[in-house]
């Protein structure tokens, strides 16, 4: 302990030492919190800035939530693909990381999944997700907030299979939803 702190603790304890440095400690606490928030924003934006862009077809889901504003719930064909030798409908798989291998569709624009595994693929394009329940994988790209008044239009396009999602992927398989495309 420094002699300054020893002197403060002998004349009133640690609280006296804290009171004397109240402003400095407050500034440090605020700076720490701002640093944590900045790091969270930077990490989520990193995927969008550096990831490769792929296009996925979206399948219909019917969302209803009056508290969230206009948004679209998205689901993909590969959201329930089972790894070889494992059953995603087995509740013991819940919470496990899963990797879905991606290949270009025949149209040359969209991407789809060929297989899933609990081990990270050594090569190729893949996306990392998490088994969240029996037969359900989430990748963090399942909802998208849209301009107010546009939600119904996107829902109708999704139901008519005319909606695609533009997703940024990192080399580690992290995915971030960039935008929705009406076709």
Same domain membership, residue 57 and residue 34: no
Dist CA 91 CA 22 (whole Å) = 51
Residue 134's pLDDT is 76
Residue 85's pLDDT is 64
Domain count, the chain: 2
Q: Which domain holds residue 119?
A: 51-182
Please identify which residue in the block is written with the tokens 């790209």.
Answer: 141
Same domain membership, residue 164 and residue 90: yes
Same domain membership, residue 87 and residue 20: no
What residues in the chain have per-residue pLDDT under 50? Answer: 1, 62, 64
The b-or-e profile of 73-109 (16+ CB within 10 A means b, else e) is bbebebbebbbeebebeeeebeeeebbbbbeeeeeee
Contact 104, 49 (CB under 8 A): no
Residue 150's pLDDT is 76
Q: Counting every residue, how long is the chain?
A: 183
Residue 19's pLDDT is 83
Residue 53's pLDDT is 78
Q: pTM here?
A: 0.66
Residue 4's pLDDT is 60
């Amino acid at each position: 302990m420094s002699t300054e702190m020893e002197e403060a603790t002998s004349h009133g304890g640690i609280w006296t030492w804290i009171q004397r440095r109240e402003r400095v400690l407050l500034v440090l606490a605020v700076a720490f919190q701002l640093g944590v928030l900045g790091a969270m924003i930077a990490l989520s934006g990193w995927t969008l800035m550096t990831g490769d862009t792929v296009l996925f077809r979206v399948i219909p889901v019917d969302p209803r939530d009056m508290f969230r504003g206009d948004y679209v719930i998205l689901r993909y064909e590969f959201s329930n693909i089972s790894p070889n030798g494992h059953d995603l409908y087995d509740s013991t798989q819940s919470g496990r990381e899963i990797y879905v291998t991606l290949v270009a569709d025949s149209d040359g624009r969209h991407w789809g999944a060929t297989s899933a595994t609990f081990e990270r693929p050594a090569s190729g394009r893949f996306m990392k997700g998490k088994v969240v329940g029996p037969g359900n994988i989430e990748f963090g790209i399942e909802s998208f907030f849209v301009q107010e008044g546009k939600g119904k239009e996107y829902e109708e396009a999704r139901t008519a299979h005319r909606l695609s999602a533009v997703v940024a992927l990192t080399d580690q398989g992290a995915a971030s939803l960039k935008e929705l495309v009406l076709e």
